[in-house]
Amino acid sequence: MKILFLTNLYPPYVRGGAEYLGTQVVEELVRQGHQVAVVTSVPWRSVKKLKPELREEGGVEVYRFYPLNLYHYLTASKLLYPVRFLWQLINLWNPHTSHVIKKIVQQFKPELAISFNLMGLGFNVPRVLAVLKISHIHVLHDVQLLHPSGLFMWGESHRTLPMKIYQAITSWLFAPVKTVVSPSSWLLQEHIRAGLFTKAEQKVLPNPVPPFLALAHTKTTEAPLQLLFVGQFEIHKGVFWLVETIKQELKQRNFVLHLVALGQKPRVAELKALVAEDKRFVIHDIISQTEIDELYQSSHLSVIPSLCYENSPTAITKSLSAGTPVLAVNLGGIPELIIEDKTGWLYSPGDRADFAQKLSWCLKHPAELLQAGLIGSRVFADRTLEKYASDLVGSNVVEH
pLDDT digits (tens, 9 = 90+) for 214-269: 554 468 888 899 999 999 899 999 999 999 999 999 988 899 999 999 866 678 89
What phi, psi does 69 have (nearest 5°)? -160, -175
What does the alpha-carbon distance between residue 52 and residue 243 come to, in Å, rounded to a whole number? 43
Distance of CA 150 to the CA centre of its chain: 11
- The mean pLDDT value of the chain amounts to 92
Using the predicted structure, report yes or no on whether residue 398 has a pLDDT greater than 50: no
Residue 214 has what pLDDT? 55
Return the higher-pLDDT residue of 105 and 276: 105
Residue 219 has what pLDDT? 80
Beta-carbon contacts of residue 258 (< 8 Å; ≥ 6 apart): 226, 227, 228, 229, 282, 284, 295, 299
Q: Which domains does the chain have, with CATH numbers?
A: 2-208+384-393 (3.40.50.2000), 225-379 (3.40.50.2000)
Q: Torsion angle, CA of 224/251/154/272, rounded to 10 degrees? A: -70
Residue 170 has what pLDDT? 98
Is residue 21 within 8 Å of 27, Cβ to Cβ? no
State pLDDT tens for residues 94-120: 999 999 999 999 999 999 999 999 999
Using the predicted structure, report yes or no on whether residue 399 has a pLDDT greater than 60: no
What phi, psi does 394 have (nearest 5°)? -105, -160
For the whole model, what pTM was predicted? 0.88
